[in-house]
Chain A
Amino acid sequence: MAQAFLLILMGVTSTLALLVGAWRLGLPLSGLGRGAGKALECIGVMLGFFVLNLAVGIAGTLLWRQVTGTFLSLYYANDATLLGISLLQGLVFEWWRRESREPSGESREPRG
């Protein structure tokens, strides 16, 4: 039941966003695919940061144990918060990369 509820909810709000984007804001539907591609790219970079965080976290924990002889739990790296942190890192990195490579982006165009 929870599955169907969430899937229907996702369908309803996605359809609403599509209608608002296409009719109200006048966005071309041809840009939807490119937008989804860029979103996937951001998610990919975020997952890259997640794997990096996990690997560095585990390696650092094991190194800490070896060097200090004191216990540090590996389960600290198994925290869901790491996903949120990685999302933030991925978004910042991806937008930094884009802004650096696309100086003629919309935000830099003269207004008026």
Chain B
Amino acid sequence: MRWERLWQSVGLAGVVVFFVSAFSPLPNALYHWSASSSEVRPADAIVVLGSSVGENGVLGCGSLQRAVRGMTLYRASEAPLIVFSGPNLTGVSEAEVRAELARALGIPSGAILVEDGAFTTREEAARIGATLRGRNLRRILLVTDPQHMRRARALFERVGLQVLAATAESAAATDTAPEGRLRLMRETLGELLARAYYRVAGYL
């Protein structure tokens, strides 16, 4: 009987969370609570963090949004250098695909740096931080999702860089369709879990 009660309670909680997530603005509110806003000012470099790329060499939606945000900042002369990050997990380097796109859109090769050896945000901060410090570049415009920004910013500040947030917004934040809200909830909880892990591991 205790077994039944216990799992009925868990099940009820699950059903309530499902309906609240799908049919109320809670996911949107959680998203805005956990997100960072932009503070764009001139910097030494624009750092575009990795996201995903398909085996066919097509950038994922988030990756493309970040890349476009980075290129827009470069075009607005906010920094003379743009660093594209993104690992080579499937035989295709995300950073190289982005760099190729940037060159095709008229950004000179000399203004582009590629970092495809980092697999996590922490590794991106360590590797890009070392590269930029070696060039005596300290102030960066960091481009990533609004939710990811808080964790990423803390990591880049820990490696000695001055970080200005340049968030790559997506339409998902304002999605009110149930499926979109469920996706938003999952992404928000995923990022909160990642922050908790980074804190426990001592990375933040």
Question: Interface residue count for A (Cβ, 8 Å)?
Answer: 22
Contact indicator B23/A47 (Cβ below 8 Å): no
Contact partner of A41 (CB less than 8 A), chosen from B11, B13, B176, is B11
Contact indicator A73/B89 (Cβ below 8 Å): yes
**Chain B residue with Cβ nearest A50:** B14
Question: How many pairs, one residue from A and one from B, have CB atoms within 8 Å of each other in the complex?
Answer: 60
Task: Tell me if B10 counts as interface (CB < 8 A to partner A).
Answer: yes
Contact indicator A80/B4 (Cβ below 8 Å): no
Q: Is the interface of A mostly helix, strand, loop or mixed?
A: helix
Which of A1-9, A14-22, A24-32, A104-112 makes up part of the contact surface?
A: A1-9
Contact indicator A78/B11 (Cβ below 8 Å): no
Distance in angstroms between the alpha carbons of A2 and B190 in the assembled complex: 25
> Hey, which chain A residues are within 8 Å of B12, CB to CB?
40, 44
Question: Which A residues fall within an 8 A CB radius of B?
Answer: 2-3, 6-7, 37, 39-48, 58, 71, 73-75, 78, 80
Question: Which B residues fall within an 8 A CB radius of A?
Answer: 4, 6-15, 22-23, 87, 89, 119-120, 176-178, 186, 190, 194, 197
